[in-house]
Amino acid sequence: MIRHALLSAAFLALVPLTLRAQRATDTTQRAAHVYPALGIHVGTPQKASAALGVVLGQDWQKDGRDYARNVALFVEPGFGAGRASLAYVDHGYGTFGSGLGLAASAMRTWKDPWTVRPNVTYVGGELILWPIVFVGPRIGLFRAVSSNVSDKWFVAIDFGLGY
């Protein structure tokens, strides 16, 4: 019995020396990816809209954290307007869906948009923020390229899920 106790004690003393905890390995090699860009938004001037497009990018790990840089191209038809955007998206996957994006967008209003006139074309830039799980605000500054508009500038604000 004492022999079994001594063998057990020796085993328990030596096992921790041979076991290693799992460690995240840094991958300096970047992996390319292509994902669908999907989203729904509510705000000005589109009222409600759905985005559909593609995300191209790279991801890698450094210091145990996930990193990703992406370019997204998407179209977004809505009830009061439609837009097409090209966006640079930083992160967005490794920290529970948080990240940000900068987009160049073209927008055309129709029917009865919120806060602006219908049948006007705008171009501008947008900041997309996702504090958590790809949910957050999008704020843009647009300028009318149509000549029949008295207020050339407007700020678009919406809240959405996804791109």
Residue 55 has pLDDT above 70, yes or no: yes
**pLDDT, average across residues 37-66:** 91
Highest mean pLDDT pick, 16-20, 71-75, 96-100, 128-132: 71-75
Q: Which two tokens stand for residue 152?
A: 């050339």
Residue of 16 and 95 predicted with greater confidence: 95
pLDDT at position 11: 56
Average pLDDT over residues 112-140: 94
Residues of the chain with pLDDT > 70: what percent? 81
Check residues 98 and 40 and name the one with the higher pLDDT: 40
In sequence order, the 6+-apart residues with CB closer than 8 A to the CB of 110 are 80, 81, 82, 118, 119
pLDDT computed for residue 69 by the predictor: 85
State pLDDT tens for residues 80-95: 999 999 999 987 555 6
pTM value? 0.79
> How far apart (Å, rounded) are the C-alpha atoms in residues 132 and 134?
6
**Weakest mean pLDDT among 65-79, 84-98, 113-127:** 84-98
Which segments of the chain does DSSP mark as H helices, in order?
Answer: 2-18
- pLDDT over threshold 80, residue 25: no
Q: What is the pLDDT of residues 138-163, one digit of tens each?
A: 999 999 998 888 889 999 999 999 88
Give me the half-sphere count of Cα atoms (radius 13 Å) on the Cβ side of residue 120.
24
State the average pLDDT over residues 12-31: 59
